[in-house]
Chain A
Amino acid sequence: MSSKRGGFSVRGVREWLEAPAASVAERGGKLNVLRGAVARVTTPLLPDDYLHLANPLWSARELRGRIVDVRKETADSATLVIKPGWGFDFKYQPGQYIGIGVLIDGRWHWRSYSLTCPPNWSDPEAGGKRVISIAVKAMPEGFLSSHLVSGVPVGTVVRLAAPQGGFVLPYPPPEKVLFLTAGSGITPVLAMLRAMDRREMVTDVQHLHSARTAEDVMFGAELRDLHDRHPSFTSHLHLTGEHGKFALSDLDEKFPDWRERHTWACGPAAMLDEIEHHWRDAGIADRLHVERFEIARTAVGEGGTVTFGKSGRTAEADGATSLLEAGESAGVQMPFGCRMGICQTCVVTLSSGYVRDLRNGDEHREGDKVQTCISAAAGDCTLDV
């Protein structure tokens, strides 16, 4: 309540009215005054708590979306077209990713996927309405990705987290560009290519994509089409099933000017590590942009480096040390309670990586809220505390 003391100001009153809806302020706009006013009588609930019972897409407290189309890309990958609910901001940058929450067996599972569509995209097949799309590749041990590729029905309501990430193509794009992708690493780059295509600003772009076989290439037809339509764009395919892994030493031969180019690379962690080394050795690390889909996990996920995001501290912890102990030993002000996993006082959000529940071995990942007193690091992880 920030109204001025001893007198009213329009702004003060407005802020007071909006206060209960402050958490959705950036999306609500003028409606927030109404939302705030209604929230005064529905307290402690927000109007959304009632609205989303009627239609899940009306929630503004949380972004939601409805899957309107599932298109097979390859045998083990698919594009999901999603119509976002109220308050989604379509002005994201090509290359960014969104968080998507899917309900399976009563539990919401969160993952991040790169948007494959250019900003402000409307799909002709979705009735010309503004939608977004992501591409998902089913991972052998990926329970959620398999579900999304082959099990999710059209019409499913999903939760969304706003687009984010710094792996983006600037506008206008650089004169000379190199894209290095492998597997599903192509997805953010595809958004960049589609955006360039739509804006008709395809500069000198070289794209090298690695896949195991020709059948495994996602968006192969579209890449060929782009290649054919834009003389300045070259698409190279590297089939690792036949030729083995692409050797970075071949860069000089294949792209003699690679040092002059701005490079965006996305793929498995090992490949990105190698690329980062190579670029650092060449002294042009500032021209390289990488996106990591997964945090590298140490063998079987026992212990790791715990980073405490807000306080900026880190601690090395083994697989038997609770995150709470690790934080306290590093001098972080950790919320704590019973220290035995019953009171939920120590719950914090896991911003990245994996942790394991010491009581039952359950694994938690990015986006989950975890009880630090009974969880241990399963590889490197970051806590939002």
Chain B
Amino acid sequence: MAITDIQAFSHLTAADIETLGQELDSIRRSVEQSRGERDAKYIRRTIAAQRGLEVAGRAVLFGSRNRWAWLTGTALLSVAKIIENMELGHNVGHGQWDWMNDPEIHSSSWEWDMTGPSSQWRRAHNYSHHTYTNVLGKDEDLGFGILRMTRDEPWRPVHLVQPLANVVLAATFEWGIALHDWSIEKELLGTPPGLMSEPNREFGRKIARQVAKDFLFYPALTGPAFKQTLKANLTANFVRNLWAYAVIFCGHFPDGAEKFTVEQLEGETSGEWYLRQMLGSANFKAGPAMAFMSGNLCYQIEHHLFPDLPSNRYSEIAVRVRELCDKYDLPYTTGSLGKQYLLAFRTIHKLALPDRLLKATADNAPETSSERKFAGITLPSLPSSDTVHWLGIDPETGQRRGLRSAMREAKVVLKEKARQEKEMLREAKRALREKAEHEKDVLREATHALQDRARHEQASLRRKAARRQALWRGRQHRSN
């Protein structure tokens, strides 16, 4: 079972978690207070650059019957769509720029270039996903309803097609998101059945506009290059889908991004909420260009802690969050984009299989663990090995022993335990083999003895028979 008690899992006391929360609050405060012209310039420039790239891409596509023009136009349009989706649509929709009080760059009015309406996405994403991050049954982003991403979810035969579902989801990501948000919107609003309900109409309108724009109006505008422009638009959407999918999956599904149960939500303090965001998300390493193209979601941990702070500040926030992780001995999950994706990829494929083929449980699997992982783990180095969750500062090293150390120790202990078990198994096998050998020997000896005896008896019988024969022959001789 995933984490039910974050305090026990994190190896922190309630007071620790509260101070951690206060420290994160003060990071928020200092960023809020220093927001200003520099940040506003950043977002305005991003918007201008994105619009520029899009216009340039669309313009070049007028000549898309030429192969180079097609490639250039498609590349420009792909980049424009990625920026629009990640740095603009996603981040503006989070209210990261609401502080500017600019009605045109505001979460309540921004519409993005994706299939689903922004308003539906905002409810599903900002509310459901960001409030209940990685809580099983509450956060529908956990596998997007089609992938099994944790062993807590019971296996069903349909999960066998997971590898294929994953590829389809990646290629058509915007449609997956649109359908996902639409169904959550209807669920949250308790929409009455009927085709003409408001969420349905909004959904239909947006899809019609998006499809008409990319696959009808723009291609038609380029006249004889209709087919090529259509293909270019299709490709740009596809490229954006793949990239968005990769960024999202690297943010939540690599090993170390933990899952939680609804029990954790009961009476959750704000410090615990912060902690859940920290432990439930994962970063990937990126240079400035890649960070920008990911909408700064390479800083997924920071984004989940402060979803409404301006994205251009995440890199400096990250430095401070890492310091806190060091201070409280908490893990800070990060790695290269490739590594993070491969870990997610591994989980997708592993969990397609039924549980009986999997070795680990939901308490100690690489993709999710729980406080039970540490139960029964005792280390000789610990002062009192009878307490399972040993908290506080190590008197010898002066270091706080928290989750990160516990994870490391658990790894060592579990490895050691596995080694010992293997050793025991080997011993037992040897003993069995020896016993079998011994029994074989005994058996062989017994057989020998029996054979000897048989031979012996045979000989004596033979002798007896010979004697009897001689006697018989003598008797006959006499009677003749």
Residues of chain A at the chain B interface (Cβ within 8 Å): 40-45, 49-50, 53, 61-62, 101, 103, 105-110, 159, 337-338, 340-345, 347, 360, 362, 367-369, 371
Contacts and interface: CB of A to CB of B under 8 A. Distances in A.
B98 A344 contact: yes
Interface in B37-73: 37-41, 47-48, 51, 55
Contacts of A50: 51, 55
A341 B112 CA distance: 23
Interface string B16-41: 00000000000001001001111111
Contact of A44 (B47, B55, B209): B209
21 contacts: A40-B212, A41-B218, A41-B221, A44-B111, A44-B113, A49-B104, A101-B101, A105-B36, A106-B36, A106-B41, A107-B100, A108-B100, A108-B101, A340-B131, A342-B130, A343-B126, A343-B127, A344-B107, A347-B108, A369-B98, A369-B106
A44 B210 CA distance: 8
A77 to B, nearest CB: 25
A106 B37 contact: yes
Contact of B217 (A41, A45, A49, A345): A41
A347 B107 contact: yes
Contact of B270 (A53, A340, A360, A368): A340
A362 to B, nearest CB: 8
A211 to B, nearest CB: 33
Contacts of A107: 35-36, 40, 99-101
B308 A342 contact: yes
A345 B103 contact: no
A109 B36 CA distance: 13
B102 interface: yes
B81 to A, nearest CB: 12
Nearest to B110: A44
Contact of A106 (B38, B111, B122, B127): B38
B108 A344 contact: yes
B94 interface: yes
A109 B101 contact: yes
Interface of B: 29, 32, 35-41, 47-48, 51, 55, 93-95, 98-104, 106-108, 111-113, 118, 122-123, 126-127, 130-131, 206, 209-210, 212-213, 217-218, 221, 270, 273, 307-308
Contacts of A367: 101
Counting from the closest, the 10 A-B pairs by CB-CB distance are A106-B40, A344-B95, A44-B111, A343-B126, A337-B127, A338-B131, A108-B101, A106-B37, A105-B36, A343-B127
Contacts, number: 107
A62 B103 contact: yes
B112 A44 contact: yes
A41 B126 CA distance: 28
A337 B131 contact: yes
Nearest to B41: A106
Nearest to A362: B32
B308 A344 contact: yes
B382 to A, nearest CB: 37
B102 A108 contact: yes
Contacts of B40: 103, 105-107
A197 to B, nearest CB: 36
B202 to A, nearest CB: 12
B130 A338 contact: yes
Contacts of B123: 337, 345
B37 to A, nearest CB: 4
Contact of B131 (A42, A103, A110, A343): A343
B23 to A, nearest CB: 15
A105 B40 CA distance: 8
A338 B135 CA distance: 14
A199 to B, nearest CB: 36
B104 A61 contact: yes
A309 to B, nearest CB: 16
Contacts of B270: 340
Contacts of A343: 122, 126-127, 130-131, 307
A154 to B, nearest CB: 20
